[in-house]
Amino acid sequence: AQTVTQSQPEMSVQEAETVTLSCTYDTSESDYYLFWYKQPPSRQMILVIRQEAYKQQNATENRFSVNFQKAAKSFSLKISDSQLGDAAMYFCAYSNNTGNQFYFGTGTSLTVIP
């Protein structure tokens, strides 16, 4: 069974600094998708970034980028120039290539210190 592990329950970062959130996963598939979702206190989950496993190039979305290490089954999220609005729970998620279901980690609560 696929599992997603986020080993950092809580992280904090100074405003304008950079923070990296860790995620590891376990799968026997070769083709799959990985995602980072943000869940602010309002509770609606928002897609931050996605990575296709067949792509070697790391995905980037503005201040958000990933470090995808397929062999190590690692998928970390880097947030640059952190802003107060980045404060939220961040979930790493895995999906097989059919997208029939996603597997989520337990989340990392990010605090941004002004």
Q: Which residues bind another protein (CB under 8 A)?
A: 4, 33, 35, 37, 42-47, 50, 91, 93, 95, 97-107
Q: How far is the CB of 81 from another protein (least distance, A)?
A: 24
Amino acid at 39: Q
Residue-wise burial string across 64-89, b where 16 or more C-beta atoms lie within 10 A, e elsewhere: bbbbbeeeebebbbbbeebeeebbbb
Nearer to another protein, 13 or 23 (CB): 23
With respect to another protein, which residue has the nearer C-beta, 14 or 106? 106
Contact 94, 36 (CB under 8 A): no
Is the CB of residue 74 less than 8 Å from the CB of residue 23?
yes
CB of 103 to another protein, least distance (A): 7
Instruction: Provide the token pair at 95.
Output: 């999906």
**Smallest distance, another protein to C-beta of residue 13, A:** 21
Secondary structure (3-state) at 40: coil
Least Å from the CB of residue 17 to another protein:
26
Closer to another protein by Cβ: residue 50 or 73: 50
Nearest residue (CB) to another protein, 14 versus 60: 60
